[in-house]
Amino acid sequence: MIGPFTHQALPMRVVFGAGSLARLPEEVAALGMTRVVVLCTPGQEATGRAVAAGLGERAAGVVAEARMHVPVEVARRATARVAELGADGCVAVGGGSAIGLGKAVALADGPPLVAVPTTYAGSEMTPVWGLTEGGRKRTGRDPRVLPRTVVYDAELTLGLSASTSVVSGLNAIAHAVEGLYAPDTTPLVSLMAAEGVRALVAALPRVVADGTDRDARAGAQYGAWLCGAVLGATTMSLHHRLCHVLGGALDLPHGPTHAVVLPHALAYNGPAAAEAVRALGGALGGVDDPARELWELAGRLGAPRSLAELGMAADDVPRIAELAVSGGGANPRPVTRDGVERLLRAAWAGAPPS
Ligand code: NAD
């Protein structure tokens, strides 16, 4: 039976296609932006400067200071710089770190954001912001941080390493997995999630084999768009909460942590999410055990499969389990301390999900 459900569509414009960066000036102009600051990480400063050059006289400057998890001091500095430059828009070029900085600026009453994503993490499609202060990451939802326009140009992803391609792609797949069993999932979310997973699992092996395969890069971006839209539309569950706690408390890297935890979180929730398991099984090529298949896929793609290899100590398991359980939140299966400890021990050791 279909429904009942409530679907809230987000007001976003998506410009997709190889070479679409050339359309950025007209897209920025259509939003009425006349002085735009380009935001990026230090590692992508050359790309940020090239994008600013393409914007011509609409470019007001480049701030190449984005960092993972958006430290508040970085956000404050960037917000002040954007105000100083008299900007009426920001363009974030990069992955979740650059886009996260643009969101932080918009959240602090800065100008609206246009995103040009260059990884597959999916942040560009969501109104979710994050800020880290004193070792704690806070997140929230605010329509002001939602990019007004997103320009996907696969040409900008040709230099993204195989390892970051894979872990950011698995991060996107995690959005789809949790969207399928979210309390506020809808038939449209389910379609986007299944198609997003299908696109990414088809594209990622080809991206790993040849990072310059434009067709594979575009396929991965298409999957990232859909999976990001799922994250933007639904409430996330235990998997995202665990990754959030592991990132905040132990400073584990974002994408690799998602890659390791996802099969285990799905195995934990599977018994309480039959419809999601069926949809994922189909999207993964007709398998009965999508958790096991995602674990095998991570291995085939060379992604990390244990929290130990990311630097977590076995002794940290009880503390992380406690933090994840005490946080509350949505989940299809009741979250028990014992269950989460078992999940974390398997993920720590790199064992297959069970
Ligand atoms: P990232 O943005 O940190 O990028 C990883 C590295 O790859 C950086 O050093 C970057 O400079 C480099 N890079 C990015 N694109 C490149 C390219 N095309 N070529 C060469 N180098 C490139 O990583 P990410 O996985 O995209 O983002 C992770 C961050 O995003 C985390 O802080 C996470 O919390 C956040 N995130 C937020 C949301 C949301 O909805 N708010 C969703 C997903 C992720």
Per-residue pLDDT tens for 317-351?
Answer: 999 999 999 988 999 999 999 999 999 999 999 99
> How far from 42 is each of 80, 231, 316, CA to CA, in Å?
18, 27, 32
Examine the domain organization and report whether 292 and 168 are in the same domain: yes
Residue 219 lies in a domain: yes
Read off the DSSP letter of residue 352. P
Q: What pLDDT is stored for residue 150 in this prediction? A: 98
- What is the arithmetic mean of pLDDT over 210-216? 98
Examine residue 242 and state whether it is found in any structural domain, yes or no. yes
Residue after which a domain boundary falls, among 130, 157, 184:
157
Residue type, 265: A
- Ligand 1, pocket-test mutation among 254, 258, 261, most atoms within 8 A of CB: 254
Please check whether residue 247 lies inside any domain of the structure.
yes
The pTM is what?
0.98
In a domain, 3, yes or no: no
Residue 159 alpha carbon to ligand 1 centre in Å: 14
Domain match, 240 and 325 both: yes
Q: How many domains does the chain divide into?
A: 2
Q: Identify whether residues 86 and 108 lie together within a single domain.
A: yes
Q: Quote the pLDDT of residue 136.
A: 80
Q: What is the pLDDT of residue 38?
A: 98
Please identify, among 110, 140, 157, the residue that sits at the C-terminal boundary of a domain: 157
Q: Which of 103, 119, 200 to mutate to test the pocket of ligand 1 (most atoms within 8 A of CB)?
A: 119
Structure-derived torsion over alpha carbons of residues 348, 350, 351, 354, reported in degrees to the nearest 10: 70
How confident is the model over 75-132, as pLDDT tens digits? 999 999 999 999 999 999 999 999 999 999 999 999 999 999 999 999 999 999 999 9
330 and 248 assigned to the same domain: yes
Q: Which atom of ligand 1 is nearest to the CA of 128?
A: 41
pLDDT digits (tens, 9 = 90+) for 155-185: 999 999 999 999 999 999 999 999 999 999 9
DSSP 58-96: GEEEEE----TT-BHHHHHHHHHHHHHTT-SEEEEEESH
ipTM here: 0.99
Q: What is the pLDDT of residue 130?
A: 95
Domain that holds residue 70: 13-157
